[in-house]
A and B are shown apart, each in its own frame.
Chain A
Amino acid sequence: MTTISPGGEAADPAAARPPGPPPGQGGRRASVRPIERLTDLAIAAFLWAFRIVVLLVVVVGSIATLASGKYSLETWVDLIENGLTLGSIYALIALGYTMVYGILRMINFAHGDIFAGGAFAGYFVAVALAGAGLLNANPVASLLSVGLMIVVAMAASTLMAVGLERVAYRPLRNAPRLVPLISAIGASFFLEYTYRGLFGPGIYAYPDVAVLGEAVPVPILNMQWVDVLVIVSALLMMTVLYLFVMRTRLGTSIRAVSEDRDAAALMGIDANRAIVLTFAVGAAMAGAAGVLYGLKFTQVYFYTGFYPGIKAFTAAVLGGIGNIPGAMLGGLFLGLIESVGPTLFLDGLNVPSPNQLKDVIGFTMLVLVLVFRPSGILGERIARGRA
């Protein structure tokens, strides 16, 4: 399992399998001691209580909030838009987690910092372009500049991720399961404090792109172009990625290696290349997400990657880890619930400053999904075949 058996996968046959039938259903053990019966009952009662409490908070809170009429339609639309924007960024980062987990069964803890690396790269390109007067010259130039920022950030992130894979992960591919996780945690620290050393501890403000700050001329929506840019480009990239993985030969090789590395190798697939490709593609998405994040939230510093990284991993798990559309859906869902949830569920219950608790809602969703539907929203491709 997590410990000493080498060749983590073989020794961990059921790591990600959904749990057995819930307790109390069909006494499959003939002779159950009363104490075991009791624990099973206690657990069942506990789980039901958990469900009921969460459901009560959601339903009562929502009704109370909506009945109070404190918030106008515009507020709700705003919240949903914000949620979708944030969710698209989470989804882009989550793709890297999900693909790497799918192929290596490894939580790439440093992925959030790869994302931050993209944000930094985009920042420096933006500053250079602003210095040359190109960033705000005219809308077309602005758009091209943003495109250039994204491309450079993707390249930088990809380079970093491939280097990291080569140095910190590849030698550990057959090590016990916890070993690459610890190495990834080390890599995360290394990257964060490398940024700090290279660029200093200060917060960098992204230069303004005037066009993106303008409002979209649609009533009620009250959107800025930057939101449109984030959502549209995220959707576009995810579509391209999906087609790449599902329709091309290289994508097929990635899927094959995810399914069974040894069998894929026997079929003549270069497993190493597929794994490096996975890291590269995931990092490219994260790099693009970094620029989008910078444009939307206008700042970046050395620690930027940590929390979005954890959130994106949550999103990947929510959607069903190893599942690409799942990561997209999980990201959007998490973004939405984080944005709308505090106001909708908690404000009606008179919780003070509900926005402090947005992460609590996110993580509660995570635990709920793990407990009641461990395969994630969209189910898990690797769960069945792998067990």
Chain B
Amino acid sequence: MSHPVAAQRARVRAWSPVVRIGLLGGVVAIYLCLVGIVPTFDERPLITGVISLGQASLLLAALATGYLAAQRSPDPRRSVEILAGALAGGLGGSFLAVLVLLGSVVNLRAVLLHASPELYEILTFGMGTAWFWVPIAVGATAGGLAAFSASLPDALRRPLVWGIAGVVFMGLFAGYLRTPMLTTALAPAARFLFAPEGLTVAGAVLVFVITAGAVALQPRLAIDRRYAALPPAGQRTVLVPALALGLVIVLLFPFAFGPFFAMAVATVAIYVLMGFGMNITLGLAGLLDLGFVAFFAVGAYTVGLLTSTGEFGLAGWPWWAAVPFAVLFAMMFAAFLGLPILRIRGDYLAIATLGFGEIVRLLAGSDLLKAWLGGPQGILNIPKPIPVPPNHPLSGPVQIYYIALACALVVAFVAWRLRGSRLGRSWMAIREDEDVAEATGVNLVQTKLLAYMLGGAFAGLGGAVFAGLVNSIFASSMALFVSINVVALVVVGGMGSNPGVVVGAIFLIGLPELFREFSEYRYLLYGVALIAIMLYRPIGLLPSKITRRELYSAEELEATAESAISPARPAAS
């Protein structure tokens, strides 16, 4: 403090968080460019004639950089915060400027596919590489603006942020909303809101105003507080119609946005069904099964063999008659696999099941079983569960959606009733501590085997429904990815929580299906989303109440214990 040099150094050091955010923003911007998001989506408008999706991704990165930098500003004065935002944004932009300069000298394209002249055109707004400073200016401006908005009072800031989010969301999904609206009385509204791709300018303004307005009014309405203030009977009178309305919306889903959307929701429903099954194996009994797809395959192939009218069909039964056998065989298969491996604990079980899943997939596609299972060509001509003419409202994925929903409800009911039963409590005891559970009289192998078999049965049901959905099954559909997806959606949703499974399935299965337009980038986003959810919400998006309570009380306990034992323990993060 007393020494002027030291004081100055401290003042400079106070800016280091801002600089770090700027550097991070620059890395993100470079990544967006080089991985191809910016150049690939330069043609796809978010708001037609104003901004493309590629540009929007960079702009959002700059805004986020400025916003975060403002929060780390060394001084709470507004002018300093704006300066911090502009500095971070400009620093991020300078990365792009360097990229443009470097690209004009060296041919980066030999290594990086997307470091093309088109990219540099986009970054300089078509002015050529002499205008390399443009990204710096844009970044600084956007950063400054974001910092300014960050310094606004809460009542203004939240509607602003949500309004932008609303515009981005509607712009992303414009195609899905526009096409079905055009066929109905809403066609004029669709033309007003949406261009063939993305929003119109007027539409963007309208969406922004509506979203921002709703968010701004939300604290005044205080719906949740009013609801909580109601007496129990009053709560019920609100809740029952709300649930009924929700049910009607869920039932109308496949009709709302056309056949493609129906396919997506049917897939989600199948994963929900399997997720409920996995919730028993993993959520209740704590058995991590990375070979879930094996039972899925048994169910699908059973249905395929029993119902197919094609080459490999054995009986030509209707779908409904084959389903009980599919479930039964999947369950028996689970018992068959479970017997040897359920003595294995923890991660080893995961790997053993992963091995089984791969063995099943490889055998199904091999020449060894080709005479029975069709090898890589698979089993074709599986009939639909409900035979209807092509233009019937129940044709295609729509009926599968309802069937999968019904099955999911059954599974959810079973899981819910089991949870409180003696068996369910034994499972949870095993999950918490195998040795203690065994000491208190739980038969480990039997109990685990039951959990494994039930999970397998539900996976088999999922496979049976899947066979009805796609009408042909191939060994390549039985990929490890299916098992990983099911485990991931259970964990992302919140382990042991059935509503969590639904949320997880919508998030991890539904969104990537809808993002098909963005081809392979959706898996990139999938990966980022998995990491982000685990970092910021490790208990899942919608954890069960018990989990939340257990986790928080345990955390508090541990915190006190830790501070008592090892106060000098190095920070973990």
Contact = CB atoms under 8 A, between A and B. Distances in A.
Interface string B521-551: 1011011111100110011000000010011
Interface string B19-47: 00000000000010011110000000000
B328 to A, nearest CB: 18
Main secondary structure of the interface of A (DSSP, over half): helix
Interface in B432-456: 432-435, 443, 445-446, 449
A22 to B, nearest CB: 9
A198 B522 CA distance: 15
A367 B341 contact: yes
Interface in A348-376: 351-353, 356-357, 359-360, 363-364, 366-367, 370-371, 374
B121 interface: no
Contacts of A13: 433, 435
B570 interface: yes
Interface stretch (A176-184, A246-254, A285-293): A176-184
B550 A186 contact: no
Interface stretch (B147-155, B303-311, B488-496): B488-496
A188 interface: yes
A10 to B, nearest CB: 9
A227 interface: no
Interface stretch (B165-173, B215-223, B349-357): B349-357
A217 interface: no
Interface residues of B, number: 82
A47 interface: yes
B246 to A, nearest CB: 28
B35 A172 contact: no
B523 A367 contact: no
B35 A194 contact: yes
A356 B495 contact: no
A175 B166 CA distance: 33
Contacts of A271: 570
Contacts of A57: none
Contacts of A357: 362-363, 366, 368
B286 interface: yes
A39 B338 CA distance: 12
Find the residue from A2, A46, A271, A351 having the highest chain B CB count within 10 A: A2
A197 B114 CA distance: 8
21 contacts: A2-B346, A4-B495, A6-B555, A17-B345, A42-B339, A178-B487, A178-B491, A179-B534, A186-B526, A186-B534, A189-B526, A193-B527, A198-B34, A198-B114, A317-B351, A352-B370, A356-B368, A363-B356, A367-B341, A371-B340, A374-B344
Interface of B: 31, 34-37, 110-114, 282-283, 286-288, 339-341, 343-348, 350-352, 354-356, 358-359, 362-363, 365-368, 370, 430-435, 443, 445-446, 449, 480, 484, 487-488, 491-492, 495-496, 520-521, 523-524, 526-531, 534-535, 538-539, 547, 550-551, 554-555, 558, 566, 569-570, 572-573
Interface of A: 1-7, 11-17, 19-20, 36, 39-40, 42-43, 46-47, 50, 101, 105, 107, 124, 127, 167-168, 170-183, 185-194, 196-201, 262, 265-266, 270-272, 310, 313-314, 317, 351-353, 356-357, 359-360, 363-364, 366-367, 370-371, 374
Given A2-B288, A359-B358, 12 more contacts: A3-B286, A5-B432, A6-B551, A13-B435, A16-B347, A178-B495, A188-B527, A190-B527, A198-B34, A198-B112, A199-B113, A370-B344
